[in-house]
Structures are given as C-alpha cells and as structure tokens.
Chains A and B, each alone.
Chain A
Amino acid sequence: MMPYSEELQGVFREVFDDDGIVLRPDMTAADFDGWDSLQHVTLMIAIETRFNVRFATAEISKLKNDGSTIGTMLEILGAKLGHP
C-alpha cells in the first residue's frame, strides 16, 4: 500500500461511518454497503478536502464505474500528489 493509504482509510471510515473498514487495493464499490452515487460524491469531496486535490468529472466517473478498485483510486490520488 502507498504511504497515504492509511489516511485514505481514515476518510473511508469517516464517510461510511464504519471503523472496521480496512482498505485493500482489490476492493470495489460492491465491498462497501451503501456505496451509491451520492455516497461516491460525498467520498470524493472528503478525499479532495483531506488531500487538498481536485478530481475532474471524468476521474470521479471512472472511480465509480465497474472494474474500478481502491487500487485505481490510489493510483489517481498518487498521480495528483506526485507519487508515481
């Protein structure tokens, strides 16, 4: 996992109100109860605020689509934070 993955996990726990969440790169939206469009946007805004980044419309969409994983999110976030 990347250096900021623990911080990301903290954001997930806060947004989903579940302290038991442990992120793995292969997890998808289906692994979280109630991850719908609204929860997704709420999560994106929380990540933007926490890491001081901005997601483009296409990136927000990509992270909600089938096949997208926590690994995808870490990659996009990593690129924005300058961690290849």
Chain B
Amino acid sequence: MTVCTFAFVFGVLTVATFFFRLPVGLRRWVFTLGSAAFVSLLVPNRASWVALGAFLVSGWATAHVVSRRRSGFVLAGYLAALLVVFVVLKKYAFLQFFVPRQILDHPIGIVGLSFMLFRQIHFVVDAAEGQIEPVPSLWIYLNYQLNLFTLLSGPIQRFNDFRAWWDNPVPLHQDRHDLFKAIWRVLTGVLLIAVVGSLFQKMSDRALTDFALVRPKDYLRIPIIFYTFPAYVFFNFAGYCEIVIGAASLFGLKLPENFNRPFFARNMIDYWMRWHITLSIWIRDYVFTPLFTALVRRRRESAQSFAMLCYFVALFLAGVWHGASLNFIVFGLLNGVGVAAAKLWETRILKSGGRAGLRSYLQSRRVRSVAMVANFHFACLTMMFFTPNLALAALAHLHGR
C-alpha cells in the first residue's frame, strides 16, 4: 500500500467529507482506525508486529523514565541500544561480519521503521530535556508514531505539533477555496508521481540499460541519466509529500513542508535546507548541534575545525541512513564534502572581505546564478550514488569494455 493509489486517495477524500461532522472524540477514533488499517496492510507477519510493538513501547517507556529522573547514562544507553536494534532489523550489509547469519535471517520487515526511529529519538531526547510535558499516554504516542500520513516517509513531524492537533482536531481550512486548494494539492501529488516522476524514471531506466548493456559507446546516455534520475527522485518524493501534506490538512493536521525548490540552492548547505527539510532539521538538531556543542564546549578555539568535522559527520550519517550499501556511503561522503566546502568558501570570503564582503557576495545576482548552476550539477552528481543500480550499471559498462 502506498499513498499514490486510488484506494488511499479515494479513502482519505471520502472520510474527510464527514470527519468534522463527527464529535471530537469520535474524530480521534476514526483517525486511529484509519492508521491501524493502513499499518495492518504493511506489516507482513506476527514477528514484525511483536518487533514493532516492542520498538515503540520501549521508546515511550524510556521517555517516561528519563523525564522523571534525568539520567544521561540511561538516555545514552537507550539510544545506543535502539540504534543497534535498528541496524539489525534493517539488516545492514556490514553486519554480516559481526552478527550470526541466523539472527540476520529474521523474518521481520517494518515499513517506515527509519522514520519511526527519527521520531522516537526526538521524542525520548525532548522528554529527557523537559520539552515534552507531560509525557503522553501510550495511546497518543502510538497514534503519533503510526499516523498514516507520516508513517511511510515523513515528513518528520515533532510530537508537540501532533499533540496540539490531537488535543483539538479542528478544521484547518476556513473556506471552500482553501479546501479545494488542499484537494488540488493531493491530486497534484498523484500527477507528480504517476505522470512526471514516472516519465523521468522510464527515461532514466532506458538510458541506463542501453548504456550498461546495449550501446556501451553511446555516451549521450550519460547526460540523460545525469539529469533524469535526480528529476525522478525529486518528483517522486515531492509528489508523495504533496499527497500526504494535502490529505492531512483535510483532517485539520498541519504537517511541516519538506521541499522548497531545492535545485535553486546556491550551495550544499542551502540545498539541504530545501531538500527533505524535516530530515535536514532533524539531523541539525539531533546530530550536528549536540556533537558540535559538545566539542566546542571543550575547545572553543577549534570551533571552525570542529564545524567542518560535524558538517561532514552529519551529512555522512544522513547518506548512510538511506541504505548500507557502498553507494550510499559515497553519497554521504559527497554530501559531507559539499557542505564542508560551502562553509570553507564562506569563511574565506568573510576573512578576505569581512561582513561587508560577505553581504555583497550574497547579494550579487551574477554570483547567485553561477552558484545555483554549479550546485545543481553537484547535487545531481551526488544523486548518481543514490541507487545501487547506477553503480552496478557503471561496473557492467566497464566490464563490457
């Protein structure tokens, strides 16, 4: 079950027509039933149900413990254990060197587990820091985690934003115009995935197959792959976000935006604040900031070097999170290099021209245009490592030669 299906779109639009005619308590039940039905279509077996339950209940219980008695040891221990469980459940390839095969052959498959991990880490950390008060009931937490609009691939909504809606699920759209705009947004998402994204996917796949296997000397296929594959990834994910953000709004639930014209970014730092925004902000809040803060508190004079290191580590982890195969490691490394280089460049301008120099650099239209084109191509280059297929095709091509 995906969100770009007739069943999902028709079902959501139908329920939205009567959702706000129900009493508030019943609205929550309808939401819960919708999410439960959606999840039940995605969980393949009993072992997966048990693992899913244990995964989520552990986060809720730990949040209760660390919110009452703030213990860095308990928090760090739990997060480490959670990450170990996560990589085992996801069967990361590198585990074959450390973990017995019987364990890695487990039948557990949980769709959306990666996004549950993000929400769970945020929930536990914020509860420990007193930012989620009071820690909610298990029932509300499960509704937050298994929300059918964010279950598969985000956007990563923060718990307090969800709770504000849960406590008072009222309409978001004030008039028919707003309502139609939301419905149009859902339908636009369907078109982006089913028509535009699909078209770019076919072009990319065909060029890839041709270049790898059929016409290895037809180098014109390379630019086709270079531009169409990133376009496919963008339209597919942006379309998904249009559907879920538009659909959730029909139920009064405002989800955070995930894209803001990423291919118009002037550098890779800017790019990551426009592409998969909720993931970028999550990485900033729960990887970059704690790591950088911890290092700088120890040695403030090395802040600049630590910043490069933290940018690199944060983006590298973001890349590896997408998958454990070698191509994702390269994807992460390239992104890490990209953001670190952008920061170094800015630091250099600041040193040579001061604040005024940086201001005129940032305001120059010519610089912005050149930077946008250059960054667009670098972003496309990183995307070449977003799928194992391209790496395999390159190998097949080299082997064929």
Contacts and interface: CB of A to CB of B under 8 A. Distances in A.
Interface in B23-44: none
Given A42-B296, A42-B303, A37 B288 contact: yes
Chain A interface extent, by class = 20 to 34
B11 interface: no
A26 to B, nearest CB: 20
B350 A56 contact: no
B355 A16 contact: yes
Instruction: Name B's interface SS.
Output: helix
A38 B350 contact: no
Contacts of B285: 57-58, 60-61
Interface in B233-276: 269
A33 B284 contact: no
A59 B297 CA distance: 18
A18 interface: yes
Interface string A33-57: 1101110011011000000000011
B129 interface: yes
Interface in B299-324: 300, 303, 307, 311
B292 A59 contact: no
B355 A56 contact: no
Interface string A6-49: 00000000001110000000000000011011100110110000
A42 B160 CA distance: 26
A16 B286 CA distance: 24
A18 B362 CA distance: 17
Which of A33, A56, A65 counts the most chain B CB atoms within 10 A? A33
A1 B346 CA distance: 33
B293 A41 contact: yes
Interface of B: 125-126, 129-131, 158, 160, 269, 281, 284-286, 288-290, 292-293, 296-297, 300, 303, 307, 311, 343, 346, 350, 354-355, 358-359, 362
Interface of A: 16-18, 33-34, 36-38, 41-42, 44-45, 56-61, 64-65
